[in-house]
Amino acid sequence: MASANDVRVRFAPSPTGRLHVGNVRTALFNWLFARQRGGRFILRIEDTDLERSRPEYERHIYEDLKWLGLTWDEGPDVGGPYGPYRQSERLQLYREAADRLLQSGRAYRCFCTPEELDAERQRAKAQGLPYVYSGRCRRLTSDEVALKLNQKKPFTVRFRVEPGLITWTDLVRGRVEWQAELLGDFVIMKSDGWPVYNFAVVIDDMAMKITHVIRGDGHLPNTPRQIVLYRALGGSPPQFGHLSTILGPDGTKLSKRHGATSIGEFRERGYLPEALFNFLALLGWSPAGGSEILSREELIGQFSLDRVVKAPAIFDVGKLNWMNRHYLRQMDRERLIDLAARYLVKANRLEDGPLDDATRRWLGLVLDAVITHLDTLAQVVEETEIVFEYDLDRASQSEEVRQTLEDEGALQVIEALREELADVSEVTVEAFQRATRAVKERTGRKGRALFHPIRIALTGRPSGPELVKLIPIYEMGSRLNLPAPIPSVSHRLDAFLQYATHWRRRGR
Ligand code: GLU
């Protein structure tokens, strides 16, 4: 009986593109299962598709998994007892296994040309039948084979499938049955001497002592093929669990349209790895308690394949945004500052390079003011325009700003405020509040009639974060060394009054 520590699962991506929601959900479920059972999580790179595999995609796979914290115990980069972990480096093993099957008669060489096979396929199609290889080369005598080999005829190696019922108990779907006759004698080695996916996977899963194969249900038709190969090779199949498809909320195949992109793109857009981790874990699985915000540790503790559902999982980007907001709001402040700074540097709001203490402290205030408006970190650029941009020409395109420019009473408020602050060297929140109280008395205006013109004059916008949050941001910001200077409160009041004079003289 295997002990819990023997659990060995693998994530086996092909480096033919960036990792997407589906692949990474598979990686995550394998990882959670391994971590929970104290097992091993193995990364195997399936690069037998020579034309489509690229080393840079392999690099991205490492980066994306690391970013999500899906660390592996064995893999091409870290090694392990059953390496190499890249299929292109394991060709010898596949060839030897194919030879063994040829010798025992469980496999045979097929010399059918692509044209002949195509003709078979067309015939099946014309009769409305699913295509199954006719088995023509099964019947070749050893002399015929020797002759063709002598003539250097190209050949594939096919597995001889015995009729019967293939069954397994799927960890997600329960009992699955497959009629072997529907498989036909399938190819295991191509004519170029490379294995097909189904063959390489079985050789590797056996050699790497994989106990559980958890993967997407797109692989369901491969499983009966793999099971018969295991048996022919004298191994016992691992346990299989096929995860349901992921669909968009409209029930159609998941795509970019639903906001599902590559993991790299989620990262660039400013999703936090802990949010994506939590979100992906709930794609097809739910905890017994029903709560949705779960830390990495809670997920490891609670995950179980029993609660993985057969029904398609729905990818809802709104829910992902909600989770991301949650994690953004509770994240460590210094980390938030560092991550947000990257977006602001890219937008040329901040200088590149390490932030000095004053800028860090200031950025912390900026983030406090806008954090509740952010779904993702990338939105920090747009949401902080109110901090970095003060452009009255642009502002005056808004009707509300124009009304203020034309409202005598509103301008009196700004003038009075300017006077109250004339001798204040740094406008603190207290100084601002004192000054607005005085303005209230002087002008008789209160509430919105008082504060709306002040907001418009200071920010150039009719709405935004609370003024008491913006005041210190403007004041401190005006003393920092930024790519574009930030005007202080007094500068803003002056600029607005000047602009208003100009505006009125010129006529709107
Ligand atoms: N390379 C296969 C894929 O990316 C792995 C499938 C499997 O897990 O067996 O789909």
- Are the CB atoms for 401 and 462 separated by under 8 Å? yes
Show the CA angle centred on residue 424, arms to residues 368 and 493, nearest 5°: 70
66 shares a domain with 208: yes
Q: Which of 206, 221, 246 is the last residue of a domain?
A: 246
Low-confidence ranges of the chain (pLDDT < 70): 1-5, 507-508
Give every strand in the sheet of 40-43, ordered side by side.
40-43, 8-11, 212-216, 239-243
Q: Cα separation of 160 and 154, whole Å?
A: 19
Nearest CA to ligand 1 atom 6: 12
Q: Does residue 437 lie within any of the structural domains?
A: yes
Which atom of ligand 1 is nearest the CA belonging to 13? 4
Q: What is the DSSP letter of 341?
A: H
DSSP E strands, 83-145? 107-110
- Cβ-in-10-Å burial (0-12, 13-18, 19+) of 67 comes to middle
On the 0-12 / 13-18 / 19+ scale of CB atoms within 10 A, 115 is exposed
Report yes or no on 85 lying in a domain. Answer: no
φ and ψ at residue 407, rounded to 5 degrees: -95, 110
Task: Verify that 454 and 501 share a domain, yes or no.
Answer: yes
Report how far apart, in Å, the C-alpha atoms of 304 and of each of 40, 42, 243, 287, 288 are: 16, 19, 13, 8, 10
Output the domain CATH number for residue 306: 1.10.1160.10
Q: Residue 2's pLDDT is what?
A: 46
- Say if residue 430 is in the same domain as residue 338: no
Per-residue tokens: 425: 């060297």
Same domain, 477 and 412: yes
Q: What is the C-alpha to C-alpha distance for residues 255 and 336, in angstroms, rounded to an integer?
A: 30
Joined together, the tokens standing for residue 274 give: 């802990």
Number of Cβ within 10 Å of residue 126's Cβ equals 8
Gap between the Cα atoms of 279 and 259, Å rounded? 14
**Which of 409, 416, 412, 431 has the alpha carbon at shortest distance from 488?**
431
Q: Is residue 88 part of a domain?
A: no
Reduced to 3 states, what is the DSSP secondary structure of residue 232? helix
| Domain closes at, from 189, 216, 237 | 189
Q: What is the pLDDT of residue 259?
A: 87
Residue 218 and residue 317 in one domain: no
Residue linked to tokens 């830390």? 295
Yes or no: say if 110 and 142 are a contact pair by the CB < 8 Å rule: no
- CATH number for the domain spanning 164: value is 3.90.800.10
Residue whose structure tokens are 């901040």: 350
List residues bridging with 8 in a β-sheet. 40
Q: Is residue 328 part of a domain?
A: yes
CA of 164 to the centre of ligand 1 (A): 26
Burial, 469: exposed, middle or buried (Cβ in 10 Å; 0-12, 13-18, 19+)?
middle
CA distance 113 to 119: 10
Residues 370 and 273 in one domain: yes
Distance (Å, rounded) from C-alpha 244 to C-alpha 29?
12
14 lines ligand 1 (CB under 6 A): yes
Whole-number Å distance between alpha carbons of 491 and 508: 23
Q: Which amino acid residue places its CA nearest to atom 5 of ligand 1?
A: 12
d(CA 111, CA 19): 37
Between CA 37 and CA 3 the distance in angstroms is 10
- Based on the residue annotation, tell me whether 153 is a catalytic residue of this protein: no
Q: How far apart are CA 41 and CA 29, in angstroms?
A: 10
| Residues 211 and 118 grouped into a single domain | no
Domain that holds residue 482: 389-505
Among the candidates 189, 219, 234, a domain finishes at 189
Using the atom order of ligand 1, give the atom closest to the CA of residue 222: 9
How many angstroms separate the alpha carbon of residue 13 from the centre of ligand 1? 6
Task: Measure 316 CA to ligand 1 centroid, in angstroms.
Answer: 25
* Residues 208 and 132 reside in one and the same domain: no
DSSP string, 379-432: GHHHHTHHHH---HHHHTTSHHHHHHHH-HHHHHHHHHHHHHTTT-SS--HHHH
174 and 222 part of one domain: no
Q: Do residues 284 and 374 both lie within one domain?
A: yes
CA of 58 to the centre of ligand 1 (A): 14
The answer to whether the CB of 136 is under 6 A from ligand 1 is no
Which CATH number goes with the domain that contains 467? 1.10.10.350
Please compute, for residue 43, the number of CA atoms within 13 A of its CA located in the half-sphere on the CB side: 23
In a domain, residue 251? The reply is no
Could you say which of 125, 256, 310, 446 is catalytic? 256
Tally of structural domains, the chain:
4
Judgement on whether residues 289 and 329 belong to the same structural domain of the protein:
yes
Q: What is the DSSP string of 190-227?
A: -TTSPBPHHHHHHHHHHHTT--EEEEEGGGTTHHHHHH
| pLDDT score for 163 | 96
Q: Token match 């509740």: residue?
A: 372
Q: Whose CA is nearest to atom 10 of ligand 1?
A: 13
Residues 206 and 354 in one domain: no
DSSP designation for 106: S
CA of 14 to the centre of ligand 1 (A): 7
Question: 86 lies in a domain?
Answer: no
CATH of the domain at 50: 3.40.50.620
